[in-house]
Amino acid sequence: MDVLRDFATFRANTIIPLDEGWRFILDASQEGERLAYYSPTTLFEYTDVISCGKSWESQGFSYDGMAWYRRYVDIPEDWFPNRIKLVAEGVDDAYTVWVNGEKVATHGSFTDHEQTVWLKQTVTDITDYVVAGEENFIVLQVVDIVGQGGVYKPLYLAVE
C-alpha cells in the first residue's frame, strides 16, 4: 500500500491561485537568509515582479542558483478552522516555505540534485502560521541547480 501512497495527489475543496504578483530577487551570494529576505519588515531597494507557473528563464533571468519569491496573500476568514495548504505543482529544484517570517518546510535538497522536486507536487500545511482574514506574507526561497529554474508550474493555496 505504500507504493499507492506515492501516486496519491492532494485534493482541495477551494483554491486561491498564486501565480501572479511575486516580488523576485536573485541571491547569487546566498545571503538572503542572513539578511532576512523572509521577513515582512525587510525592504528592498529594487526587486522584479515575476509569475509562478513559468520558469524564471522564460521571464528573462538566465540563472542557476538561489532566488526569493515574496508576496502578501489574503486568506479568507471562512477558511478557518480548516487546514490551509500551499500546493506547488512543480519547483526546480528545491525550496523552503516561509510564512509571516517563520520557516515552515523545505522540499527537495539545496545541494543534492537527485532529491529535486522538479516533477513532484509538494504540499505544505501552513495553517498554524497564517492569520484569518488578514494579509499573510508568503516567501519561497528557491534553488535551481541546473536547467530551467523556479516555480515553473502552478502554485496555489487550498483548503480541505
pLDDT digits (tens, 9 = 90+) for 43-52: 887 789 999 9
Q: Are 153 and 87 in contact (CB under 8 A)?
A: no
* 3-class secondary-structure state, position 1: coil
Residue 30 has a pLDDT of 96
The 10 Å Cβ neighbour count of residue 25 is: 16
Please give the angle made by the CA atoms of 34, 40 and 46, to the nearest 5 degrees: 75
Q: Which CATH superfamily is domain 12-159 in?
A: Galactose-binding domain-like (2.60.120.260)
CA-wise closest residue to 85 among 156, 7, 6: 156
- The secondary structure of 23-41 as a DSSP string is EEEE-TT--TTTTTTTSTT
- Three-state DSSP at 155 gives strand
Average pLDDT, whole number, for the chain?
90
Whether the pLDDT of residue 128 is over 80: the answer is yes
Name the least confident of 6-20, 81-95, 134-148. Answer: 6-20
Q: Residue 2: pLDDT above 70?
A: no
In degrees to the nearest 10, what's the CA dihedral of 10, 20, 47, 36?
-30
Q: Residues 62-75: what's their mean pLDDT?
A: 96
Angstrom distance (rounded) from CA 107 to CA 110: 9
Instruction: Inform me whether the pLDDT recorded for 4 exceeds 50.
Output: no
Concatenated DSSP letters for 43-83? --S--EEE-SSS-SGGGT----EEEEEEEEEE--GGGTTS-
Mean pLDDT over residues 3-21, rounded?
Answer: 70
